[in-house]
Structure 1
Amino acid sequence: MTLEPVRWGILGAARIAEGAVLPGMTRSPACAPVALAARDETRARAMADKFGIPNAYGSYEALLADPEVEAVYVALPNHLHVEWVANAAAAGKHVLVEKPIALTRADLAALEGLDPSLKVAEAFMVRHQPRWQALRAKIASGEHGAPRTVSSLLSFMMTNADDFRTRPEWGGGAIYDLGCYTAMAARFVFGREPERAFATCARDARGIDMFSSVILDFGAGCHAIFSVSLAEASSQSLQVVCERAFIELPKAYVPSRTEPNLIHVDLSADHAKSDLATLSFDALDQYEAEVTNFARAVRGEDAPFYGLDDARANMACVDAIFASAASGGWAKVDPARPTSAMPPARAGSSGT
């Protein structure tokens, strides 16, 4: 790779930054992390030193004022995402922001009118896997007929009582943390937006959904069905039923970094038989792939990129899911117009 590395600043000394994104950036020849900011400058300095980052700041504003920083990765709690995307873009920085980009589709009104020369994207790293790109190409080819059903499970057992995901005012709960992935996966496979959503959410005493099940209706008899949970054993599955094939991605959302990653394609038309082919992809760090592709897009290269329009569409799905869970009926998905549904009430700002 010959492009000049994009110089990154990281807002927030979060676990996702330390454990996933910064290791990916340091491995990517397209990226150079040069600054990190946290509300606690000591914490910022410690994490910066761990990754050889020269500049550490005790405020997010100071990092955005750094002329060396070209792109910003926003690793803050969910309720702060829109605010700091807007601030970073106002400072002339490209922005990659942790998912979900917002708590409602309406929140994204604050990001209207951004400089169109800036790259702004929601950080769904999974769709930067070569395996996911191959899945999309296989479906688009039509070789197995049209996709008709997408199903997915995504869960883990949350044991930290102080986790930000336990706080409704910060965007806690399974839909915000996991359901945004499974909704995005369905949209990725079908290549279009759902028409309506039906959902049920089991909430705990704090008001966050610990278990949610969802149907997204894509019209013409095409459905996505998924369940997400913060209170179950680890699961991560993605299956696509086409007219002439059953396609499965084992370890779909968190692929192995040491073993090949697979796509199983069963062409059998008989339940009692199997006609199985397996496609194998090299082990990879999907966070490295994500930041590399973002950097390539910043430099004007042809790379997978999903901008604000995609983020708006995914948030419209989340809005409809919450609206359905509240009403007990179907809710329309309208990417162009925010719904009136609101998740649990939000409180004041705080950050990492």
Structure 2
Amino acid sequence: MASTIRWGVLGAAAIATGRTMPAIQAAPSATLLALASRDLAKGRRVAAELGIPHVHASYEALLADPAIDAVYVPLPNQLHFEWALKALQAGKHVLCEKPLCISAEQVRQLCAERDRSGKHIEEGFAFRNHPQWAKLDEVIAAGTLGDVRSVHATLAKQFLDPADVRNNPDAGGGALYDLGSYAISACNLVFKRAPARVVATLDRDPNFRIDRLSSALLDYGDRHAAFTVGTQAGSDAWGTHQQFSVLGSRGWLRMNFAFAHARPTASQLEVGDASSVGAFPTTTYTFEPANHYLLQVERFSRLLLGDKVPSWPIEDALDTMRTIEALFTSARQDSWQDVAR
């Protein structure tokens, strides 16, 4: 068996050049072997800067390369499905940026192709690899919070550039697809299932036509979740504003940097038990800066090498996309919507 997984990357998007490709190079179980770019001059320039051995002039050529074991897909949202599907069909394992697709039907097709090909595919939520999320699971499992009753999440940033794909509705832009996918994924991680029904209200940018402010209530039956996401709100710094909290029958939990860390940053997980007063924690867990893009690549590669490490099936992405579709319908119809199964 190979000692490392040989990676190829489709496209030279900023998240790939700035975060994931350096992470592949730093991960002990991974080797960054090739880059494909439709702009060959750009591809060669990036490859020279990062020391990537091979450059392909087309995505098809990289997928046909027998030396490649796994493919990372950082393309614009509307291209994720097409190239993740083609990568699976070419016999490659796939790590695809979030959102995995922009419709539930597309995710269902990827599930079918995964089963047919026998190859592994995951949605690239790097935050799930950060050790603070393992601690969250540990705290909940220990019963410190009692029964989990609700979850609240907020993510926001000023995305005002007209050229930003987040502001292109035809490219899967907008707050729900970009930031809402984080919030929904996290809520489902805590509750271990998708909501039964949802209701939402959206505010759309009159020029970009994307949802720039989206708020939702998710009904899990005997427990609830609520979130607000905004692409023209909060910080204009290098990272999104983030809040995430869990309310239990006997306590609570709060994370101050729960999701994507554009730069590895120290973070805290605060816990209030039955003796806590106000928002003052009884226990605080501090985490040193961690590159969760590196953690993601290393875990994914070790999984392919046969190690027993965590993984998240793309059925999770199917639940997220069904929820997003129900939220859009809810906002249009001004009513609660069941989440399709």
Q: TM-score range by the shorter chain?
A: over 0.9
Deviation of 1:137 after TM superposition, in Å, equals: 2.4
Counting only pairs closer than 5 Å after superposition, residues 173-322 of structure 1 correspond to structure 2 as 173-205=174-206, 206-220=208-222, 222-234=223-235, 235-255=241-261, 260-269=266-275, 271=277, 274=280, 276-322=282-328
| Contact 2:88–2:117 (Cα < 8 Å) also in 1 | no
Q: In the aligned structure 1, how far is the partner of 2:124 from the partner of 2:83?
A: 14
Q: Structure 1 pair 139/299, CA: closer, same or farther in 2 (3 Å)?
A: same
**Secondary structure in 2 matching 1:233:** coil
Q: In the aligned structure 1, how far is the partner of 2:279 from the partner of 2:243?
A: 22
Which residue identity is paired with 1:266?
A: G
**Secondary structure in 2 matching 1:317:** helix
Corresponding residue of 2:27? 28
Which residue identity is paired with 2:89?
A: A
**Secondary structure in 1 matching 2:234:** strand
Q: In the aligned structure 2, how far is the partner of 1:190 from the partner of 1:255?
A: 23
Q: Deviations over 1:254-303 (max 9, x none)?
A: 34856532210112556458452111223200100111111111112111
Show structure 2 runs of 5+ residues with no match: 236-240
Deviation of 1:45 after TM superposition, in Å, equals: 1.2
| Contact 1:236–1:252 (Cα < 8 Å) also in 2 | yes
Q: In the aligned structure 2, how far is the partner of 1:157 from the partner of 1:180?
A: 17
Corresponding residue of 1:134? 135
Matched residue count: 333
Which residue identity is paired with 2:231?
A: L
Deviation of 1:141 after TM superposition, in Å, equals: 2.9
Deviation of 1:110 after TM superposition, in Å, equals: 2.9
TM-score (norm: length of structure 2): 0.93
Q: In the aligned structure 2, how far is the partner of 1:214 from the partner of 1:273?
A: 24
| Contact 1:41–1:57 (Cα < 8 Å) also in 2 | yes
TM-score (norm: length of structure 1): 0.90
Q: Deviations over 1:181-214 (max 9, x none)?
A: 0000100111122111111110112321011001
Q: In the aligned structure 2, how far is the partner of 1:252 from the partner of 1:199?
A: 23
Corresponding residue of 1:119? 120
Q: Structure 1 pair 3/268, CA: closer, same or farther in 2 (3 Å)?
A: farther
**Secondary structure in 2 matching 1:253:** coil
**Secondary structure in 2 matching 1:13:** coil
Deviation of 1:165 after TM superposition, in Å, equals: 1.2
Which residue identity is paired with 1:125?
A: A
**Secondary structure in 2 matching 1:137:** helix
Q: Structure 1 pair 13/29, CA: closer, same or farther in 2 (3 Å)?
A: same
Show structure 1 runs of 5+ residues with no match: 337-352
Corresponding residue of 1:43? 42
Corresponding residue of 2:161? 160
Q: In the aligned structure 1, how far is the partner of 2:179 from the partner of 2:280?
A: 32
Q: Structure 1 pair 273/296, CA: closer, same or farther in 2 (3 Å)?
A: closer
Q: Deviations over 1:149-204 (max 9, x none)?
A: 11111010013211111111110101111000000010011112211111111011
Q: Structure 1 pair 113/37, CA: closer, same or farther in 2 (3 Å)?
A: closer
Corresponding residue of 2:238? none
Deviation of 1:12 after TM superposition, in Å, equals: 1.2
Deviation of 1:86 after TM superposition, in Å, equals: 0.7
**Secondary structure in 1 matching 2:84:** helix
| Contact 1:79–1:170 (Cα < 8 Å) also in 2 | yes
**Aligned pair 1:87/2:89, yes or no?**
no
Q: Deviations over 1:218-264 (max 9, x none)?
A: 111x1111100110122101111111111011111134856532210
Q: In the aligned structure 2, how far is the partner of 1:27 from the partner of 1:143?
A: 37
Q: Structure 1 pair 262/256, CA: closer, same or farther in 2 (3 Å)?
A: farther
**Secondary structure in 1 matching 2:179:** helix
Identity, in percent, stands at 37
* Structure 1 residue ranges, 4+ long, deviating more than 6 angstroms after superposition: none
